[in-house]
Amino acid sequence: MAVVPRGVIIGMFFYLTFAIAGTIWISMKYLNENGCDCRQYFESARFSAHEHDFPHSDDNFKIAAEKQKRANGDSVQTPAKESIIREERLPEKDWGPHQLGLVVPYRDRFEELLEFVPHMHKYLNDKKVRHKIFIVNQVDKHRFNRASLLNAGFLEARGNHCDYIAMHDVDLLPLNKDLYYGFPDRGPFHVSAPFLHPKYHYPTFVGGILIMSIAQFEKVNGLSNKFWGWGREDDELYQRMKEAGLTIYRHSKKKITTGYDTFKHDHDSKKRKRDYARFFNQKKESFKKDRETGLTTLNYRVEKRTNLNINGAPCTILNVHLNCDLEKTPWCDNPDS
């Protein structure tokens, strides 16, 4: 058997080594000359996964979102199971493309109003949230109907170039600057979550301050008009959103840590007594899903519109007269009064 000389083996080894190294060098040089950067594939993969996890349904918001910061929040579509999500947050120097209609159902709360309007105007300006404030004042003699006033306020906001609304109680003032009042791109955003609201803490609570886009509000046909007196209209709205397949978002408990001190609850229960009375079959009806009334069946008229300036803060006062169908909701009036 012929024996290959040791020198030949060593020579072949060095030849193969230099050949491989040369091939790699030439390949890299060729790729660089043609502008190929393999990092783009990794970056593209990361971005695609990011978009898959946190999709945007609104094209206009996609453009604005390129400049936006992100803040954490929780999905509460199923109250017993929460998952971490991220919310879009506009940077401080960018007002964004959207306009908020702040809709406030109102009756006989003048002292609260004097504090609310300047507070909210400054608060939203500090957050660079373009907004208009609508105080929907019920002037008829019927019992208070918060839901119908919100429906009326929505129509007013939509007609004034607002593309989303905040249904906002007049006695609830935000104190934490990190609360989200931006556009609810993926679903309704409940600002006054149960772990933040000073009074209401049950998992399906969506009252106090709830943000919805125009399309989302229209999709659920607004709120039921059957709720005269205080309470239950928010619970019925929760069912509407659930049936419509909307996911409700809230802040993460890790993001907002101020707890029950997140808001100032300016309500004197002795001075401002709420009408919890139930007449006729009102109690039974209030626990039923209302598929008959809503935004499209609202019966009202605006008696007067007044543009008001309170300590430098502009707002629009709408004097609204609600009409009641006594055959369907005889409890709109107190039979004892």
pLDDT above 90 covers a percentage of the chain that reads: 53
> Is residue 227 within 8 Å of 151, Cβ to Cβ?
no
Residues 235-256 have a mean pLDDT of 94
Task: For 262-305, write each residue's pLDDT tens digit.
Answer: 999 876 666 666 655 565 555 566 656 777 889 999 999 999 99
Question: What does the pLDDT read at residue 266?
Answer: 74
Q: Is pLDDT above 90 for 216? A: yes
3-state secondary structure labels for all residues of 119-186: HHHHHHHHCCCCEEEEEEEECCCCCCCHHHHHHHHHHHHHCCCCCEEEEECCCEEECCCCCCCCCCCC
Of the candidate ranges 129-138, 142-151, 253-262, 311-320, the one whose mean pLDDT is the lowest: 253-262
Q: Is pLDDT above 50 for 83? A: no
Residues 101-112 have a mean pLDDT of 94
Q: Is pLDDT above 60 for 72? A: no
Confidence label for 306 from pLDDT (cuts 50, 70 and 90): very high
Question: What does the pLDDT read at residue 290?
Answer: 74
Which helix (H) or strand (E) segment holds residue 240: the answer is helix 233-243
Question: What does the pLDDT read at residue 289?
Answer: 75
CA atoms within 13 A on the CB side of 168: 26
- For residue 308 the two structure tokens come to 């008001």
Q: Is pLDDT above 50 for 88? A: no
Phi-psi region of 197 (alpha: psi -120 to 50; beta: other; left: phi over 0): beta
Q: Is pLDDT above 50 for 70? A: no
Confidence label for 132 from pLDDT (cuts 50, 70 and 90): very high
- Environment class of 249 (CB within 10 Å of its CB; exposed 0-12, middle 13-18, buried 19+): buried
- For residue 57 the two structure tokens come to 């349904």
